[in-house]
């Protein structure tokens, strides 16, 4: 349902075996990247994900470890004969960033549209996905993203029968369509029951732990945050550089009642993140010290009844 792949897990500076942070998400016909560090096009290639069909790129902020892969990615899309426009969304200043990208990329034969995130929070809807940008606490303007896959409301056959809806219209009404027939108007409301939980994930880096992140992280199926440092003096470094330690991320995940935490955006001083596994899982059990290519296909929660 919601295919999620961490293309790179490096922060600041890439390592030979660790790409810079970029996250791919896809649901039904919509595919997006969040961030696009140097080398993202190669990481996509490694994961056998076509760069041609990415519809959207969201940027958390404009530090180059999150953006410098854009010229190469756009040109690889061009080499793959892309003609569809692309949409790039980011904080204030996106227009200038894209000017810089185009001074390097030069010739991109498809349209590049952009949207500047306004205010503390803004939601963008694309196909079955919604992306809510929320302001976080870094050294420059920076946003996290909450991604939601909405689920149709439960179908209530008793309600449908009670309202005398002909069975042949049940399917259309459940999908949200209004039906006119023999002078009668049938509304979706006449067959729909309770709301159902969709899929909710959050991707947020770089930031100190903050209220907006805590709020959006609540009850997520997947929370992806930076775990910049794990070392003993990590907190001091994290406070100084406006980042978050692995331990802080695990505590935030526990507090937020997330199902699973993936850590990413490791400092290049952190060569062997697995050494913190035990310590972190004592704070929050479902902590994954992600590697490049970490991937999951998030599904709607099983309810013991058919979805449609």
Catalytic residues: 65
- Options 55, 100, 259, 291; binder of a copy of itself; rule CB under 8 A: 100
Residue (68 or 250) nearer to a copy of itself, CB: 68
**Letter string b/e over residues 173-190, b meaning 16 or more CB atoms within 10 A of that residue's CB:** bbeeeebeeeeeebebeb
Q: Are 40 and 51 in contact (CB under 8 A)?
A: no
Residue (15 or 172) nearer to a copy of itself, CB: 15
Site for a copy of itself in 26-45 (CB under 8 A): 38-39, 41-42, 45
Q: Between vectors from CA 297 to CA 12 and to CA 215, what angle results, nearest 5°?
A: 60
Q: What is the separation of C-alpha 74 from the centre of its chain, rounded to a whole number of angstroms?
A: 20
CB of residue 184 to a copy of itself, shortest distance in Å: 58
Taking each helix axis from N to C end, the angle separating 70-79 and 94-105, rounded to the nearest 10 degrees, works out to: 60
The radius of gyration computed from the CA coordinates of the chain, to the nearest angstrom, equals 21
Q: Are 224 and 201 in contact (CB under 8 A)?
A: yes
- Options 50, 79, 118, 197; binder of a copy of itself; rule CB under 8 A: 79
Do strands 121-126 and 112-116 pair parallel, antiparallel, or not at all (unpaired)?
unpaired
Give how many residues touch a copy of itself by CB under 8 A: 34
- Options 1, 102, 112, 172; binder of a copy of itself; rule CB under 8 A: 102
Site for a copy of itself in 172-211 (CB under 8 A): none
- Asked if 15 is part of the footprint of a copy of itself (rule: CB under 8 A), the reply reads yes
- Options 8, 11, 14, 198; binder of a copy of itself; rule CB under 8 A: 14
- Options 1, 87, 105, 210; binder of a copy of itself; rule CB under 8 A: 105
- Asked if 7 is part of the footprint of a copy of itself (rule: CB under 8 A), the reply reads no
State the DSSP code for 152. P
Q: Are 66 and 90 in contact (CB under 8 A)?
A: no
- Report the distance separating Cα 235 and Cα 228, nearest Å: 10
The contact set with a copy of itself (CB under 8 A) reads 12-16, 38-39, 41-42, 45-46, 62-65, 67-72, 75-76, 79, 96-97, 99-106
């Amino acid at each position: 349902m919601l295919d999620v792949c961490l293309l790179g897990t490096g922060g600041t500076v890439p390592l030979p075996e660790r790409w810079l942070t970029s996250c791919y998400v896809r649901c039904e016909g919509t595919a997006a990247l969040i961030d696009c560090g140097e080398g993202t096009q190669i990481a996509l290639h490694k994961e056998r994900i076509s760069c041609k069909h990415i519809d959207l790129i969201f940027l958390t902020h404009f530090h180059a470890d999150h953006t410098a892969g854009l010229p190469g990615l756009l040109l690889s899309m061009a080499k793959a004969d892309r003609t569809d426009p692309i949409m790039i969304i980011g904080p204030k200043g996106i227009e200038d960033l894209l000017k810089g990208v185009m001074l390097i990329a030069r010739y991109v034969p498809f349209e590049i549209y952009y949207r500047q995130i306004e205010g503390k929070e803004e939601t963008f809807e694309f196909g079955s996905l919604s992306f809510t940008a929320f302001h976080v606490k870094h050294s420059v303007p920076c946003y996290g993203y909450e991604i939601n896959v909405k689920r149709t409301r439960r179908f209530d056959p008793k309600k449908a029968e009670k309202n005398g809806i002909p069975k042949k219209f049940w399917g259309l009404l459940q999908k949200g369509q209004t039906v006119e027939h023999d002078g009668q108007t049938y509304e979706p409301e006449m067959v729909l029951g309770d709301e159902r939980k969709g899929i909710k994930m959050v991707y947020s880096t770089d930031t100190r732990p903050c209220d907006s992140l805590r709020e959006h992280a609540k009850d997520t199926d997947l929370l992806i945050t930076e775990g910049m440092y794990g070392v003993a003096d990590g907190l001091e470094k994290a406070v100084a550089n406006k980042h978050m330690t692995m331990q802080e991320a695990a505590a935030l995940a526990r507090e937020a009642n997330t199902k699973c935490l993936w850590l990413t955006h490791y400092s290049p001083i952190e060569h062997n993140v697995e050494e913190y596994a035990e310590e972190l899982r004592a704070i929050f059990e479902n902590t994954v010290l992600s590697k490049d290519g970490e991937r999951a296909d998030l599904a709607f929660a099983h309810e013991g009844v058919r979805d449609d």
